[in-house]
Chains A and B, each alone.
Chain A
Amino acid sequence: MGKLYDRLARDIRIKEWLKACMNCGVCVSVCPAAEFYNYSPKNIVNIVQSQDDEQIEALLKSDTIWYCGECMSCMTRCPRKNAAGQIIMALRSLSIEMGYFAESEKGRQQLVLQRALCGNILNYGYCIYPRTFNYEDHPESGTIGKWLGNNLEEVHSRLGSNLEHDGPGVLRKIPKESLDELKSIFDVTGATARMEKVEEVSRRKAEEMGLDMDEYSKRAFTYAGKGHTHE
């Protein structure tokens, strides 16, 4: 029994959601990712179930574990009460802890996501925040998205939001002491450490790739890589 598997086995999500796969394929047939990526949740469960560290390490360094959309459709259907989606979350966490995530295109997206999402949480108290949601990164938000962005205060005020004001309501300004509590939770429960780890590993990887951090982030955000069916 290998070390990587042992670490995985300590994850609550593996304890709860890895039983024994019998390869029936129901997860694959409902999986949104399996339809559009070269991807199979069943194969992932099988590798973890094999407890083979060599294969697990390869998986942790691959694009494969980052294809899942975590819709958890697999969880509803599995006749053995496995949950591929939850198992994948444990794999992703371990990939980050080991620093393996930077070895794959999809894994390298972690830096971009972390900066955006953890930034929003710690600065504003929201996962998504209008001040950091740029039309340039989101042309799919449409002409209305652009309009909303250009007239943010007016439209929100018209619709009854409390944008950046005190008191309750939509997009209210979350009090400083509450943001401090979130920061404190991050420090106590390992989120801050994870952020530092991702920054550090990404910095090293960028260096290795001969990119500065902006180029590295931009590439991670835009480069689709292999595995998409249209390529």
Chain B
Amino acid sequence: MIYQGKQKIWADYQKEIPDDHWFYVRSCIRQNFFPASEVTMLKIFREMLGKDMYETPHHTTCGGIAYHNECIPQETQMAIIARQFALMTEAGYENYTCSCITSFGLYCETIETWHEMPEVLERTRENLWKACRREFNIPKYLAHTSDLVFKFRKEIGALAKYRLVNKDTGEPLRVVEHIGCHYAKMFPSKGVGGAEYPYVLVGMAEEWGGNVIDYPERRHCCGFGFRQYLVRANRGYSVSNTHKKFESMEPFHPDFIVTNCPGCPYFLDRWQYVIAEQTGKTYGGNGQGIPVLTYEEMAGLVLGLDPWDIGMQVHQIAVEPLLDKIGIEYDESKKYEGTGGKPLPEPEFPAAIRCC
């Protein structure tokens, strides 16, 4: 691999990301499955970097998952987006950032359509007025929250307590980065680094000491596929696509996977468990899996936040081997605690894959 070739492409896909004052909206999937990731993200930006991230309780789902399951028409989708923008406008913001990749893709696509077809924008304005008596401006800047972490990767690096380096060997950790499909595949110019060699996660991982792996099925979808996962009958598609990626990355012995999409870490994590149950195969050595992190978790770990504060216990694949490699301190006895140190019953441990 010729690194300079990628650098040239990265140079072609720069994205303007404002420094401060964002209107922040959440991700349905992240809130359900990795709730602490959004908490960590806001903590880093508000408390550590002193940035203004405004959130209103009135914002809702963008409807993206329903739209991509054909449960709501495109016109409904656009009106829900318009309502989110109206909330932003009313709050006096013009920089919009979202935690979800499906949302991000839809925002990009919708703004693009409104730009190409002004009559569609007009109709959306009418619909929103009719339904909610609201008006909106289109955001001046649109960013996914991974874009923001990317932008401040050096500042975060300066505050870091740990590096993505094997403490015993001194070697950089081998990182697989996985980008949500709707981040840049639809509109390559909207993503940091473009669609083919996205730089958003590579930039973070490298800045914090890791070494990123490029493996044959890197660009491939995690296999979510909306209805292909949500309906049990279709899940063979979903698990098979994840399986394909793991088979492809296996020879590179990754230390962990980092993702920027809410759904991908869930699928890459849970399908490892299902593959182990169904075929007995595990990918992480010692009968364990390969830990799958959100980028907020990766940032939280290098910043020295307690792994159980940032939600590492809600992963099926145990992260302890990774914490040990980096040399991160943790108290195993606190892993399954509730609030205020209240002990919770331990989860079951599957036989097919070692989850500590």
Contacts and interface: CB of A to CB of B under 8 A. Distances in A.
Is A in direct contact with B (CB under 8 Å) within the complex? yes
A122 to B, nearest CB: 10
Contacts, number: 280
B89 interface: no
Interface in B177-226: 181-182, 185-186, 188, 195-196, 219-221, 223-226
Interface stretch (B6-14, B58-66, B163-171, B250-258): B58-66
A181 B117 contact: no
B248 interface: no
A28 B234 CA distance: 19
B320 interface: no
Interface string B262-275: 00000000110110
B137 interface: no
B61 A146 contact: no
Given A32-B221, A110-B70, A128-B32, A117 B65 contact: yes
Interface in A31-60: 32-33, 35-37
A158 B236 contact: no
Contacts of A93: 70, 73-74
B75 interface: yes
Interface in A175-224: 175, 177-179, 181-182, 184-191, 194-195, 220-224
Contacts of A147: 336, 344-348
B225 A71 contact: yes
Contacts of B74: 11-13, 89, 93
A170 B38 contact: yes
Interface residues of A, number: 98
Contacts of B236: 36, 224, 228, 230
Interface in A153-168: 154-161, 166-168
Given A73-B185, A156-B35, A12 B68 contact: no
Given A144-B314, A190-B76, A175 B66 contact: no
B61 A143 contact: no
Given A12-B120, A118-B72, A170-B39, A155 B314 contact: yes
B297 to A, nearest CB: 12
A121 interface: yes
B160 interface: no
A155 B336 CA distance: 8
A67 B226 CA distance: 11
Contacts of B337: 158
B75 A190 contact: yes
Nearest to A151: B344
B182 to A, nearest CB: 6
B138 interface: no
A142 B313 CA distance: 13
Contact of A70 (B76, B127, B223, B225): B225
B266 to A, nearest CB: 8
A225 interface: yes
Contacts of B65: 117, 127-128
Nearest to B263: A128
A144 B64 contact: no
Contacts of A151: 338, 344-345
A69 B226 contact: yes
Contact of A128 (B29, B35, B313, B347): B29
A75 B78 CA distance: 20
B149 to A, nearest CB: 18
Interface of B: 26, 28-29, 31-32, 35-36, 38-39, 55-61, 63-66, 68-76, 78-80, 83, 105, 113, 116-117, 120, 127-128, 130-132, 181-182, 185-186, 188, 195-196, 219-221, 223-228, 230-237, 239-241, 244, 270-271, 273-274, 309, 311, 313-316, 336-339, 342, 344-350, 355
19 contacts: A11-B74, A12-B74, A32-B221, A72-B182, A117-B65, A126-B32, A127-B66, A147-B348, A151-B344, A157-B338, A168-B55, A177-B58, A179-B60, A182-B60, A184-B132, A185-B132, A194-B73, A221-B231, A228-B237
Given A110-B70, A175-B57, A175-B58, 14 more contacts: A16-B113, A33-B237, A35-B244, A69-B225, A71-B181, A76-B186, A114-B69, A137-B232, A146-B348, A158-B338, A159-B314, A166-B57, A188-B130, A191-B71
